[in-house]
Structure 1
Amino acid sequence: MLPSLPSWIADVRWLDLMLLDQLAGAAEDTIEDGPPLPDAPYQAAAAAINNLSAALPLDGPPSTAQDSVYLKAVPAWEIDALWQVLVVLRQAQAGTPDTAGLRDLLDEIATYSSPIRTPDDAITTLERVLAVLLLDIPAVRTLATTLILKNPWNTAAEASAAEIHAAWRAAGIRPGPADGN
């Protein structure tokens, strides 16, 4: 389940265009003091976010559909790659010795990105996206089953949607300025 909030969709697009694409390129170039992972996880994480971004509408949902959801299957290996990149970014944020090049790259990305985001913002954005992708509660399965089988919307589906939205809010995924709120 993916939120239809334009602010969340914008976060996915930012990760796609600004952060993960840059990290994958740097890993591929094997710059001195570069990202302390082989390039495969960066490439897989960039591809995962690109696939996710491509599955979401460019302009977000109609203004009447702010509480709607999108159903998208994401392979476990892509989530694992995103998780590996997040761990390395957190290590760079903490200042571990072998991540100096990555810290410098994060600072550069933050400086030149649009909108401007700090390295901490970049990590928080990736954490929010992973929180959505990793949400594994019965409500997700109930709502996914309803949507896949095109069952009628009922009280169980409504309760599941409310539970999913509550879990997203708890993870910091809330309507923001881009959502008209």
Structure 2
Amino acid sequence: MNPAARPDQPVLLPSSSAWSEDARLVGDTFALVGAAAATTFDDTRFLLPPLTWTIAAERVGDCVTTDHRPENLRVLLLPTYAADAVWACHTALVQAAEPDDDSEHLNALLTDYLTAVHDTNLRGLTEALERVLAVLTLDLPAARPLITHLVLKTEVSQEDRAALDDVLEAWREAGVAC
């Protein structure tokens, strides 16, 4: 399939506070990098153009919830361009973890920011992003009817409950708190 022809995907989001902390850390950090990149007028200084960082920051930021009841699953429509932006940022973070001439600015910015503001490091950010990606990219066919029922607010069937158990199990296997 042509990547440009991929459809936007509905995604289930967990409601735990730990999940929200991961999404907030990633979203805030991407927003910082996007702002820093925008001030340089250099699309390569932080490995990606500012718009890519900003798109990823906004979409991941939309994942954060303040309603942490276990039964409160949410559905987010993930546009293809936003998923691509989040993956591009992941690639940039992995590259920045082993700094070279291209990634030294990103590494320096993130090292200082993450230590001072979030009491973590680049590895911790990358791990949080990987948990976010585990949620955003989970595509269990059995979960699709569950998403439909949640969006339409209709009765949830036994099959949907089984699909929910599968989703929760997949998230837990990926280290996502749910």
Distance (whole Å) between structure 2 residues aligned to residue 5 and residue 142 of structure 1: 22
- Structure 1 consecutive aligned stretches of length 4 or more whose deviation exceeds 6 Å: none
Q: CA deviation at 1:71?
A: 1.2
Q: CA deviation at 1:38?
A: 1.7
Equivalent of 1:167 in 161, 166, 170: 170
5+ residue gaps in structure 1?
176-181
Question: Which protein is richer in helix relative to its size?
Answer: 1
Distance (whole Å) between structure 2 residues aligned to residue 174 and residue 41 of structure 1: 27
AA partner of residue 51 (structure 2): A
5+ residue gaps in structure 2?
1-11
Between the aligned residues of both structures, percent identity stands at 30
AA partner of residue 132 (structure 1): V
Equivalent of 2:78 in 63, 66, 74: 74
TM score, norm. by length of structure 1:
0.83
2:116 matches 1:105: no
Q: Is the 8 A contact 1:24 1:42 kept in 2?
A: yes
AA partner of residue 113 (structure 1): V
Write out aligned runs for 1:38-53 (5 A).
Answer: 38-53=49-64
Which residue is equivalent to 2:32? 22
Q: CA deviation at 1:151?
A: 2.7
2:93 matches 1:94: no
Which residue is equivalent to 2:149? 146
Which residue is equivalent to 1:179? none
AA partner of residue 109 (structure 1): Y
Distance (whole Å) between structure 2 residues aligned to residue 16 and residue 148 of structure 1: 25
Matched residue count: 166
TM score, norm. by length of structure 2:
0.85
2:133 matches 1:130: yes
2:13 matches 1:2: yes
Q: Alpha carbon RMSD of aligned pairs, Å?
A: 1.9
Distance (whole Å) between structure 2 residues aligned to residue 66 and residue 47 of structure 1: 24
Residue deviations 1:101-143 (CA, integer Å, cap 9, x gap): 11111101111123x1111001111111111011111132121
Distance (whole Å) between structure 2 residues aligned to residue 159 and residue 51 of structure 1: 27
Q: CA deviation at 1:16?
A: 2.5
SS at match of 2:164: helix
Distance (whole Å) between structure 2 residues aligned to residue 85 and residue 79 of structure 1: 10
Q: Is the 8 A contact 1:5 1:66 kept in 2?
A: yes
